[in-house]
Structure 1
Amino acid sequence: MAEESNKALLLSVDCPSARLPDHLLIEIFIRVPMVEWGHLACVNKYWADLFRQDCLWHAALIRCFPMAGHSERWPGPIPRGMSKRRFIALCMSKCIFPLGDELSEIVGHSYLFLKEQLEISTLPPSPVILHGTIIDQFIACGKSRDRAHELASVIWLAVIDNLEENHQTFHLLKRLALEGDVFLPYPYSRSFKVEWKILDRLFTDFRDCLADADYYDLLACAKQKFQPIPPTWLGY
């Protein structure tokens, strides 16, 4: 009802685009570069409503990722979601992990899952549980344990790299760094590359947030795991 009233309002002001049927508008929108979609959705309420509908995102999914329509089976603990989430997952995978095969969507959804869980305003779930969930997702989709372990580490690295520099991220990274070796056995254990990235962000991006006690505690953790310690971590 709201959509009809919005369109009627456009027709009343003699807007030519309002006379186009929805399916033609959608075909036009999905051919516009994605960076402009936000501007299109702000033109009027009717166009904004179209960008909230699954039909537009389904059309965009099929146009931008033609092979996405062929993968119907989706086992595992991480939800796949509707067309909009699938589209975002595939875009993230394309930008960060240019794999170019059926693995892309699994990687994209795993990335979104981990990032959303780590950014929960209250205490996020245990990193061990999150990491195990990602590993289980890849195994459920037919990947080997070694491959699942490798991809989970890549996803952790990408998520940590893309966390915003804010107070919440600082406390999250500090928690991850100080939790020690409380990891599940192989293949669930996180790689040293992930632990290195966590400490690197703390000692570079968040150095000004560290109190003296925090700094020396984190430095002790770093020295237990890595030698030599990079000079930037030591403040010079």
Structure 2
Amino acid sequence: MSRQAVSVFPVFAPLFFSSSSSSSTRDGGLCSSARSSPDEGGGIQSPGSCSAGRSLMTDRSGPIGRLPEHLLVEIFIRLPICEWVQISCVSKHWASIFQGECVWQTAIARNWPSAGLRKRWPGPIPRGSARRRFQALYVCENLVPAGRDIDELVGHTYLYLKEQLERPAIPPSSILHGTIIDQFIACGRTGEKAHELASKIWLAVIDNLEENQQTFLLLKHLAQEGEFFLPFPYSRSYKVLWRVFDKLFTDFRDCFNRVDYHDALAGAKSRFQPVPSTWLGH
């Protein structure tokens, strides 16, 4: 699912993330091989087709450059998403189109027609602008395995958690987890379903973090916090904690000094028995 998607995220950050969430632009963005052609909603295509589209769209003096805005929007949303950053750089006018709401509202209507029928929901995690909604819908479709239905709230919750974990001062994980549970319950989910969705979102966010020093420090922080999940159901809480330790001991093993490694391993052994052999050895 995620490694390929994450590797291309930064390309689209200027479009998908507003200046108010600059911390998320480091590893955000929305691009996936899940969509393979403009007719299917504008996913990534082969380098050749992207290059051809860029050549056509970046000709300022050509006929496309002189089209009225509503027609430009209809063209833009049919092109691969990998072209949108390039397109927004053609002119100030085209950049302003992507800064506005119309292109995102139109893209939502084209890709997820039923999303426009949904009412706003109660709870601490808002729906936000059309650009934010497009971002959330794309996340839900491509990053969080939420079943056959596209649940916009799942995407917004993913974005909320990701941004909170990227803040310089991270709120306690128990508060973040409780906020997510409260949000789903406020929107009519049962307690069981709320915990299931919350666990999926935590796993998706952890799996889609960039491999850098900031992520290493974040994972260490989560591991040191210990049992930061609400106590039910135990299996799901341990699944997320297991993933935190697994990333630390596999993806970030070389970032540990010897003392910190043995401290982290002791914490893992106190929760999981036996620990996998891949976690051992520094």
CA contact (8 A) 1:139 1:148 kept: yes
Report the Cα distance in structure 1 between the residues aligned to 2:139 and 2:261, rounded to whole angstroms.
34
| 3-state DSSP of counterpart to 1:218 | helix
Deviations 1:124-144 (A, max 9, x none): 111111111111111111100
Aligned to 1:201: 247
Please list the CA deviations of residues 47-78 of structure 1 after superposition, one character each: whole Å capped at 9, or x if unmatched: 11111110111011111110100101311111
In the superposition, the TM-score normalised over structure 1's length comes to: 0.88
1:101 aligns with 2:155: no
8 Å contact 1:132–1:188 — kept in the other structure? no
Residue 198 of structure 2 corresponds to residue 152 of structure 1: yes
Matches within 5 A, 1:123-202: 123-186=169-232, 191-202=237-248
1:227 deviation in Å? 1.2
1:219 to 243, 262, 265: 265
Q: Is the 8 A contact 1:89 1:105 kept in 2?
A: yes
Contiguous gaps of at least 5 residues in structure 2 = 1-59
**TM-score, normalised by the number of residues in structure 2:** 0.74
CA separation of 1:150 and 1:140: change in aligned 2, threshold 3 A: same
Measure, in 2, the Cα distance between the counterparts of 1:14 and 1:35: 22
1:71 equivalent in alignment to 2:115: no
Tell me the alpha carbon deviations over residues 102-153 of structure 1, each in whole angstroms, 9 at most, x when there is no partner: 5x20110010000111011x12111111111111111111100000001100
**Structure 1 residues 204 and 188, CA, compared in 2 at 3 Å: closer, same or farther?**
closer
Q: How does 1:49-60 map to 2 (within 5 A)?
A: 49-60=96-107
- % identity of equivalent residues: 60
1:182 deviation in Å? Answer: 4.7
Counterpart check, 1:228 vs 2:271: no
Alpha-carbon distance in structure 2 between the residues aligned to 1:105 and 1:14? 39
CA distance in 1, matches of 2:271, 2:258: 20
- Gap change, CA 1:182 and 1:28, over 3 Å in 2: closer
Query: What residue identity is the alignment partner of 2:107?
Result: A
Query: 5 Å matches for 1:18-97?
Result: 18-96=65-143, 97=145
Shift, 1:184, TM fit: 3.8
Give the superposed CA RMSD. Answer: 1.9
Q: Which amino acid aligns with 1:25?
A: L
What is the total number of aligned residue pairs between the two structures?
222
Give how far 1:180 is off: 2.1
Aligned-pair distance for 1:217?
A: 1.0
Bigger-Rg structure (1/2): 1
Distance 1:188 1:130, change over 3 A: farther
d(CA) in 1 for partners of 2:215, 2:156: 21
Match for 2:242: what amino acid? W
Task: Return the match for 1:210 from 227, 244, 256.
Answer: 256
Q: Higher mean Cα deviation, 136-145 or 175-184?
A: 175-184
The residue number in structure 2 matching 1:7 is none
What is the CA deviation profile of residues 147-168 of structure 1, one whole-angstrom value per residue up to 9, with x for unaligned ones?
Answer: 0001100100010011111111
Contact between 2:104 and 2:134, CA under 8 Å: does it hold in 1?
A: yes
Structure 1 position 36, deviation (Å): 1.5
Decide whether aligned partners of structure 1 residues 154 and 14 sit closer, same or farther in structure 2, where only a CA change above 3 A counts: closer
